[in-house]
Amino acid sequence: MSTGRDGWRLAVGTLTTIPVQPPSVVDRAVAGRAMLLAPLAALPLALIPLLAHTAIRWLGMPPLLAAALTVAALALANRGLHVDGLADTADGLAASYDRDRALEVMRRGDVGPAGVATVVLVLLIQVVALADLLQLPSWDRPLLAALAVAASRHTLAWVCGRAFPAARPEGLGAAVAGSVPSGAAAATGLALAAVGALAISILAPNDTPWSSVGWYAAPVTIAVAVVAALAVALRARSRLGGVTGDVLGAGVEISLAAALTVAVCLG
């Protein structure tokens, strides 16, 4: 029971700005549970695209403005943690093929040209894709946008699998690397896909006006998010010897962009 409670506290405290009591202990079991609970802990963030869709429908807000505000809110809701990780990872991988040099660049925290360009491009993709998903009157595409947010956090369980060691002995990456069994990550992903497919089928059936996606869009969106994050983790393992907290954040942002992109294409 204490492991589950501490895992929940660690997930909420790390992935959101919601005040929560710190976990009484942080070990590998607690870290693994926190990564598995990441989509549930980030549920308030997944509701932001639905609120933006409501603003478009009832307040007449332009879709592009609503999408930009959504992306800004998602970044602020986790203190910019993932965006910072994306910038640092891009700078580290662009700095040098020498592992120690790349990790040192990532540790410094200042943002270079590669980091700026990567953040701008990834956030631009997110905004443009969201604007398309939020503009139609039906709820199926906004539901996919919400699912993409949850799926991007679910990728943490995969990147924290035993195939990806920590790149350095300290930091967030060292605390969570290798803490999640692949079977548990897969089971969580299947549960998330089932919930998403059911929500689309019930709340936005395919025979209603303006509806454009089917239940299958949920598992496809989640699968694309996972593949994108794993690609980032594999690159980090090849170049850095493993993952860091920055790599985890980069995986979240890139997987969100990928999931939103495929959601647009499915629609």
pLDDT digits (tens, 9 = 90+) for 124-148: 999 999 999 998 777 888 999 999 9
14 located within any domain: no
6 located within any domain: no
pLDDT digits (tens, 9 = 90+) for 3-22: 778 889 989 988 998 888 88
Tally of domains within the chain: 1
17 located within any domain: no
pTM of the model: 0.93
pLDDT digits (tens, 9 = 90+) for 166-215: 988 887 777 888 889 989 999 999 999 999 999 888 876 655 555 567 78
What domain range is 222 assigned to? 42-266
7 located within any domain: no
21 located within any domain: no
**The predicted structure's pLDDT at residue 96:** 76
223 located within any domain: yes
| H-type alpha helices, the chain | 2-15, 28-36, 38-41, 43-46, 48-59, 63-76, 81-95, 99-108, 113-134, 140-159, 172-176, 182-203, 217-240, 245-266
